[in-house]
Structure 1
Amino acid sequence: MQYLEFKINCKEDFREILIAELAEVGFDSFLETDTGLDAYIEEKSFSRESYQEVVNRYQDAADLEITEGMMEKVNWNEEWEKHYDPIAVGEEVYVRASFHPAKSEFKHEILINPKMSFGTGHHATTFLMLSHQLTIDHQGKRVIDIGAGTGILAIMAHKLGASEVEAFDIDEWCVDNGNENFDLNGMKDVKMGLGTVREVAPQGTFDIVLANINKNVLLDELEIYASLVKKQGNLLLSGFYTHDIEDIHEKAKSVGFKLLSQKDKDNWAALIFEKI
């Protein structure tokens, strides 16, 4: 499996926007750098036309400079050590890699050794989802993480006392990485599945469903999420901009959810719904 690599220099204000736009056209892995970002996509999934539309849209405003290349699958831990710093979510959660020292003053510590997987807590959507999780009772609950990436939200659910945790992603590298991160966090009995929600077809219902993906996928799959959430259970969503809240809210309402809470950070949004 070969990946195409795009080293993108851009204005700092456009870094997060470009990540979101490229994710919409199939890019599945990103590494933020001092001058912009590196973006990766599996060669067979790459559409030059869709990619070029994004580049043309932001070329002048973001002052884009792009170098293209190709690479084989590699271990990303060394690269991440150069760029990946620990983060704190409030005063309760500390997210770090295994090469960072522990901090005992935090109630919850999450170990994430990312490879080419999205979700380290640095991106606003992951941060927001973790923040929302801290407000929801997970004790003894059945939880599923859809599009789990590194598995960080599933790990948070485990740390918060969930009795059963499931997770899956469409990317094989995410699955491998997620399983490694589960082991690091004492979740050896949890194995990440591979596929979309339709392909995985989770069985039964859940107290909490987590989905940090993107607007189009969420809108397409919300009806399925409604079938997975127990009555009075919670659905936590992110992966979209604040200006997309209305669209997400309207769709969620149409399939039986009411909005309980919302947070935003850097123009990204995250919502908590309850099944009614």
Structure 2
Amino acid sequence: MEYLAFKISCAPEYTDILIAEMAGIGFDSFLETETGFEACILPDTLDAALWEALLLRYRVAAGLIVQESTLPKTNWNEAWEKNYDPIELQDKVYVRATFHPGRAADFDHEIIITPKMSFGTGHHATTYLMLEWLLELDLAGKNVVDAGSGTGILAIMAKKRGAAEIVAFDIDEWSVENGNENFDLNGFSELRMQTGTIQSVNPTGTYDLILANINKNVLLEEMRTYAGKLSVGGSLLLSGFYAEDGDEIRSEAGKHGLHPAGQKTRSQWAALLFTKIR
């Protein structure tokens, strides 16, 4: 049986929303791209009415462009292994899947990620930028929050760089399951990802570093909460938005005592670092 394949281009802040909506109507395979994502579903499991209603609801707001095609039945594990390449970040970090040979001796840090339906493999510019920042920050003994943790790759990187306590969570149940599997793969079984937002998880106390690679709208909505969970002198590291949106992010951060401390860009995407000054 052939699969229906959809190539989705959309505004970046709608990517997670659309994936969650499509998973809710039966799509079970997703792959992130620079302009959105790709999704597959068996034809007999697609409810045409629900699909059309979803497209109607988001077509204008999300700037949806949808390309439909068919794919022959295939060995998805074999196809995945052929098309998923390891990531090398400078000579410091090597991100691989379980089916790639290990290269721990060649890099300071080796991270094993099997992403399944979660996001954050290092391939997308935003994850790459966040990893770059984590290499530069002093994480030894620091308490960290990883909001919208996805595969858990940033929490794993923070732990490898000496972070003490890490609170990780994501709104998607498949990400939580996948993240916990990845924690185990990397030898951090003491780390557990929770389901929810920063408001619902509500980490107690204050933290030295908060990581949030989500999307612009969520970051703007949650900025006050991030600031409230940071200790004075603590750092907030944000990505998931285009460089052109940086001024809006900085403006909102400034309202909550967060001072710009640096920016990195890659392929038009940005990652901003802030310090809490009051």
Partner of 2:129: 128
Question: Could you state the TM-score of these two structures normalised by the residue count of structure 1?
Answer: 0.83
- 8 Å CA contact retained: 2:144, 2:163: yes
The aligned residue for residue 6 of structure 2 is 7
Cα offsets for 1:110-156 (capped at 9, x unmatched): 10011100100000000000001111000011111000000000000
Task: State the 1:18 CA deviation.
Answer: 3.6
What is the RMSD computed on CA atoms of the aligned residues? 2.9
What is the number of residues matched between the two proteins? 254
Q: Does 1:96 align with 2:96?
A: yes
Could you say if the C-alpha distance between residues 90 and 186 of structure 1 is closer, same or farther in structure 2, counting changes exceeding 3 Å?
same
Residues 190-269 of structure 1: matches in 2 within 5 Å?
190-269=191-270
Look up the equivalent residue of 1:113 and give its one-letter code.
Answer: T
Q: Output the amino acid matched with 1:49.
A: L
Alignment correspondent of 1:85: 85
TM-score normalised by L of structure 2: 0.82
- 1:66 is aligned to 68
Provide Cα deviations, 1:4-36, integer angstroms capped at 9, x if missing partner.
97522xxxxxx8x64726416432574158xx9
Question: For each residue in 1:166-190, what CA deviation from the matched residue of structure 2 results, as whole angstroms up to 9, or x when unmatched?
Answer: 1000000000000000001111111
Match of 1:12 in 2: none
CA distance in 2, matches of 1:176, 1:148: 11
Gaps of 5+ in 2: 21-28
Cα distance change of structure 1 residues 273 and 5 upon mapping to structure 2, 3 Å threshold: farther
- CA–CA distance in structure 2, aligned partners of residues 77 and 159 of structure 1: 28
Deviations 1:19-73, CA, capped at 9 Å, x for gaps: 726416432574158xx95137999897322333278x465xxxx632499xxxx
Look up the equivalent residue of 2:205 and give its one-letter code. Answer: G
8 A contact 1:125–1:268 mirrored in 2 = yes
1:223 positional shift: 0.2
User: Structure 1 146/50 Cα, relative in aligned 2: closer, same or farther at 3 Å?
Assistant: same
Alignment CA distance shift 1:37-1:233 (3 Å)? closer
Q: Note closer, same or farther for the CA distance 1:249–1:176 as it changes in structure 2 (3 Å cut).
A: same
Matched, 1:20 2:12: yes
Tell me the SS of whatever aligns to 1:230: strand
Q: Could you give the per-residue CA deviations for residues 185-207 of structure 1, whole angstroms, max 9, x where no partner exists?
A: 11111110001111111111111
Name the structure 2 match of 1:50.
57
Question: What does 1:146-157 correspond to in 2, within 5 Å?
Answer: 146-157=147-158
Q: CA distance change for structure 1 residues 244 and 40 in 2, over 3 Å: closer, same or farther?
A: farther
Q: Is the 8 A contact 1:114 1:120 kept in 2?
A: yes
Corresponding residue SS for 1:27: helix
